[in-house]
Amino acid sequence: MMALGSGIYVAHSVAFRSELQRMAPDHIGSSTSSRQRDIVFIVNPLGANGRTGKEWRKLVPYLRSRLGKDCNICESITSGPCHAIDITREAIREGADAVIAVGGDGTLHEVVNGFFWAGKPVVSQVKDSTRSRSTALGLIPLGTGSDFARTFEWKNDPHEAIERVARGLRSSIDVGVITGEDCDHHYFINVADVHLSAKAGFYASRYKRFGNLCYIIGALQAFIGHQNQDLRIRFNDGPWETCSEVTALCIGNAKYFGGGMKITPNADPFSRNLEVVILQNFKWYDFVLKLHRLYSGTHLSVKNVSDRSVLSIEVEDISGKGGIYIQSDGEHLGFLPKKISVLPAAIEMIL
């Protein structure tokens, strides 16, 4: 268990092990309340081929200087399969002011899922008359992709991110939720996608050691044996329609995926809608010729590309053969059928 007091906590999230450090400063930097803030930093030290852990250790002195002085650090090790999702839920239940994901889109994705349990938001179980706000989400981008940060035009500068945390300014943002035949709920904050791009993401995850080059390798591998597919789609619980020769279908709460590709350029995590972009009947050479437009976000006027704003979308495989990939925030979620919906203003985020 993680006992929260007044201070800052750092949870190192690794497979089958999490390390918890408590920093108990005399005071925390600027806040809207005289009450000290409890802040949990979730770090994957193995992220970006170990670079995240190395960069984090360099950041700790600066973090202390901005968020508190005279920090007393003690470390405890929790055994068992404790991951970022579990640590986030525990922190929220114990009244943390904020949970900060330190890393890339994968770490952020896990932390976002920790804000929910059994289809509902996790809430604090602490009775505190001075506490009037819910736990906020924060991000210090240190990962391979950090695509979500691009929507806000944040630089990949952890010192700048720490300044955001120190200021503590919040705004409510939307979150996407994905449900399937198993009735499980899976949440995403950036982009969910179906078919070729999701398959490419599945393969790219095997090559993270190559940095952003992993996305190119994944795409090349996904093209081998790829066939466009007819899909059944329903928007906003309306009538079903057939969408022919689908190459990729992307649902954006934010704008970027795949290492900087502006795939859903009109997506806005404050809009209370999701943007759906559908690529149909694309061949391998279409990607070669139009790749620059996909990265710049100018592809919506290209032939066989369509987009629309939705509250929800359901997608099924007409062939019934299965094997149509779906992923969200770069994490493989299995296969169709799935329903993707927006949860308006679901999380407060430090911006």
- DSSP secondary structure string for all residues of 147-183: HHHHHTT--S-HHHHHHHHHHT-EEEEEEEEEEETT-
The pTM assigned to this predicted structure is 0.86
- DSSP secondary structure string for all residues of 23-90: E--S--SS-SSSSPPPEEEEE-TTGGGGHHHHHHHHHHHHHHHHH-SS--EEEEEEESS--HHHHHHH
- Of the candidate CATH numbers 3.90.180.10, 3.30.930.10, 3.40.50.9100, 3.40.50.10330, the domain formed by 37-168 belongs to 3.40.50.10330
pLDDT at 6 (0 to 100): 39
pLDDT at 18 (0 to 100): 32
- Catalytic member of 38, 86, 105, 317: 105
Angle subtended at Cα 205 by Cα 245 and Cα 244, rounded to the nearest 5 degrees: 5
Active site residue 105: yes
For the chain, residues classed under CATH 3.40.50.10330 are 37-168
CA 244 – CA 233 distance, rounded (Å) = 10
For the chain, residues classed under CATH 2.60.200.40 are 185-344
Q: Which residues of the chain have pLDDT under 50?
A: 1-7, 12-35, 69-82
| Residue 99 near residue 124 (C-beta atoms within 8 A) | no
pLDDT at 37 (0 to 100): 66
pLDDT at 131 (0 to 100): 66
| Residue 11 near residue 19 (C-beta atoms within 8 A) | yes
pLDDT at 23 (0 to 100): 41
pLDDT at 66 (0 to 100): 85
- Which helix (H) or strand (E) segment holds residue 117: the answer is strand 116-117
Q: Which pair of structure tokens corresponds to residue 257?
A: 């995926």
Is the CATH code 2.60.200.40 the one for domain 185-344? yes
CA 220 – CA 218 distance, rounded (Å) = 6
Amino acid at 17: R
